[in-house]
Amino acid sequence: MEAWQKALLAWYRQNARPLPWRKEKDPYRILVSEVLLQQTRVAQAIPYYHRFLARFPTLKALREASLEEVLRVWQGAGYYRRAERLHRLSREVEALPPSFAALQELPGLGPYTAAAVASVAFGERVAAVDGNVRRVLSRLFALENPSPRELFSLAQGLLPEGEDPGEWNQALMELGAVVCLPRKPLCPACPLAAFCRGREAWARYPRPRRREAPEEGLAALVLLGRRGVYLERLAGRFRGLYGVPLFPEGELEARAQAFGVAPRYLAEVRHALTHRRLRVRVYGAPWDGEGEDPQAKPLPKLMEKILGEALPLLAHAGVVPLPHAEPHGIKPR
DNA sequence: AAACCGGGGAG
DNA sequence: CTCCCAGGTTT
């Protein structure tokens, strides 16, 4: 083991944050943490980790739940396909397979998550390369734009002999999360500063990725019936969750006609996704139907915003009072 | 290779 | 406002 590897492990053993999954050994619990952490900050994932495991403590408990129950617990965490795939996984296997190769075949597990579970839960000697590791290794070796294959190969060769591969992987990630920050690396505090080839020009490693998020104009139709709001099961975006009809702005007239209503404009709501900026014009109308209580269904944040704007206005218009309609937000948490 | 998929915190 | 996070799947 080289000097920098010893330095990193020593640093990690002194500085590892006491994250809730770090004291777990149950592969299922490790898996849940890793899936929740996909493209999600630690601080955001922690409450969902506790909530999810309290409700679904084992793979069996998850398997016996309905997808809608699972989505209700996942509500607010984003990337809802993760929950769908985790649920599907629970029905595809009796127990988690203890190898990187087999794990990667499961729904929702790509190279990173499979490697993380294999190394942390099963001790397999395989490198887990996430965004942190990509950044740390790019800077350490001054790589401007390494490919995923190149990074995995590099990281695989760096796994120290005779050490816990799960601990090693987490040490690299921890360094990226706490010290080797994207826009403000704390080089003076870094245990690898003396070994880092990219330190002087850290901003070049890795080269920042371009992304543009074009704006998309949509309309939402809030129909207030006798017992609540008209909700439908969403498809495509937010698949599996519920919400009011959401469609391209140009379709408003046709949609209103299909429901036999004359909607009026209520508000505008903005919502950012990774690759789109949504601008939603919210329309509402009294509706000759039943409707239901939105709090009983899993809703994406966008729908909470829409209802939070629309319901007070519709209620104020004296249309139909909705049970427990709050002035802002439907169900914080 | 590029598009798609949420939400939130930091700067 | 922009950036990006313990990514994966689909086309």
Residue A322 has a pLDDT of: 47
Nearest residue to nucleotide B4, by CA–C1' distance, is A275
CA to C1' distance (Å), from A2 to B7: 40
Nearest residue to nucleotide B7, by CA–C1' distance, is A78
Task: Select which of A34, A84, A124, A309 is catalytic.
Answer: A34
Backbone dihedral angles phi then psi of residue A168, each to the nearest 5 degrees: -60, -50
Closest nucleotide to A210 by C1' from CA: C3
Nearest residue to nucleotide C7, by CA–C1' distance, is A38
Closest nucleotide to A110 by C1' from CA: C8
Q: Give CA–CA dist A122/A116, Å, rounded.
A: 9
CA atoms within 13 A on the CB side of A318: 0
Mean pLDDT, 10 residues at a time, over chain A (333 residues)?
Answer: 97 97 96 97 97 98 98 97 98 98 98 98 98 96 94 97 97 97 95 96 87 92 96 96 97 97 97 95 96 97 97 74 39 32
Protein-proximal positions, strand B, CB < 7 A: 1, 3-9, 11
Nearest residue to nucleotide B8, by CA–C1' distance, is A44
A34 is catalytic: yes
CA to C1' distance (Å), from A80 to C4: 19
CA to C1' distance (Å), from A2 to B5: 40
The total number of residues written for chain A in this structure: 333
CA to C1' distance (Å), from A54 to B9: 26
Q: What is the DSSP letter of A43?
A: H
Nearest residue to nucleotide B2, by CA–C1' distance, is A211
CA to C1' distance (Å), from A176 to C4: 13
DSSP secondary structure string for all residues of A266-307: EEEEEEE-SS-EEEEEEEEEE-SS--B-GGGS---HHHHHHH
Q: Whose CB is within 7 A of strand C?
A: A 19, 21-22, 37-42, 45, 79, 81, 85, 107-114, 116, 130-132, 135, 169-170, 173-174, 176-177, 182-183, 208-209, 211, 270, 272, 274
Closest nucleotide to A19 by C1' from CA: C6
CA to C1' distance (Å), from A16 to C5: 19
Give the sheet arrangement for strand A246-248, strand by strand: A246-248, A215-224, A277-286, A264-272
Residue A211 has a pLDDT of: 74
**Domain annotation for chain A: domains and CATH numbers:** 3-204 (1.10.340.30), 216-316 (3.90.79.10)
CB A279 within 8 A of CB A265: no
Residue A301 has a pLDDT of: 97
CB A168 within 8 A of CB A9: yes
Residue A316 has a pLDDT of: 61
Residue A207 has a pLDDT of: 85
